[in-house]
Amino acid sequence: MTGWTILIHGGAKTIAPEEESDNREGLDEAVRAGADVLAAGGSAVAAVEAAIRVMEDHPVFNAGTGAVPNRAGGIEMCAGMMDGASLAVGAVAALPLVRHPVSVAREVLREREILLAGNGALAFARERGAELKDDEQRQPVRAVVSADAACDTVGAVALDSNGDFAAGTSTGGLEGTRVGRVGDSPMPGCGFYADNTLGAVALSGDGEEIARTVLASRIIDKLGRMDVMPAIQCSLARLARLGAEGGAVALDRKGQPGFGHNSSHFAVALMRAGDEDPSIWLSRDEEEGP
């Protein structure tokens, strides 16, 4: 048995002062939901799903309820999960109507396929009894003022007391994009990755550039060779050279947590075995990190 850890993020973005308390409250509730699963002996996969489900229900985050419309006015969401013990991957892309895309991704994780998209993903979600939610019931708290501001995604990484890692993401997309546009979030090696021999990572930010730089793969590879903070920082530098913004949360193979971002804010929360309360940061500068 080892100690457990969960590290979550609510997006690399700009957080206006009036949005700070909603972000803190959403992170607090989400990380506690994941921690409760781990404290009860649950798996890292279950903890990641539990934390992301809370963020999908909180309208301050661009995922689930807080998803933003594409140029046709529709909602298309993406989510991904990975189990570091088996390297099983489950993901959904351009999925409409579902309340919890991450839970559909977890259902895919149990299958031979790794990624289902569009109508196929919706048919699978219905087959598995996923709860549906009309677009009219989604009310993002934050008015989207620019494409930049809408790049956030939620994500989580966890290590359970069995020594297994998991990573997950969920995003409500980018406002005004083409119908069918898919970013990094449902693609393993781009928006997320977990491998028990290396650790786990989850990303947020400019999806096209994160995919072009296979950023999760870069970070996870470096986790095998360097400490978690420099592994994240030098990978984000590659993203910055493309003029893009992002943020990453990661656990190295010993469970050491780290995060980094080049966006103005990055909403992050951490809980470890023995913690009564989470540590929460809205930017790297705010306080000393883990």
Which residue numbers are catalytic? 153
**Bridge partner residues of 247 (DSSP):** 204, 261
Minimum separation from the CB atom of position 183 to ligand GLY (A) = 3
Helix, strand, coil percentages, rounded to 5, for the chain:
30, 25, 40
CA distance 172 to 64: 6
DSSP for 237-276, please give it: HHHHHTT--EEEEEEETT--EEEEESSSEEEEEEEETT-S
Q: Residue 68 or residue 85: which is nearer to ligand GLY going by CB?
A: 68
Provide the residue count of the chain.
290
Q: Residue 138 or residue 272: which is nearer to ligand GLY going by CB?
A: 138
Minimum separation from the CB atom of position 39 to ligand GLY (A) = 30
Q: Residue 49 or residue 152: which is nearer to ligand GLY going by CB?
A: 152
Minimum separation from the CB atom of position 206 to ligand GLY (A) = 6
Minimum separation from the CB atom of position 187 to ligand GLY (A) = 10
**Bridge partner residues of 7 (DSSP):** 157, 270
**Bridge partner residues of 92 (DSSP):** 79, 116
Q: Residue 49 or residue 245: which is nearer to ligand GLY going by CB?
A: 245
Return the residue nearest ligand GLY (CB atom): 207
Minimum separation from the CB atom of position 100 to ligand GLY (A) = 17
Give CA separation, 154 vs 33, 177, 241, 251, in Å: 15, 19, 23, 16
Q: Which residues are at the interface with ligand GLY (CB under 6 A)?
A: 151, 153, 171, 173-174, 183-185, 204-205, 207
Give CA separation, 204 vs 54, 72, 116, 154, 277, in Å: 17, 24, 21, 7, 24
Tell me whether strands 154-159 and 77-83 are parallel, antiparallel or unpaired. unpaired
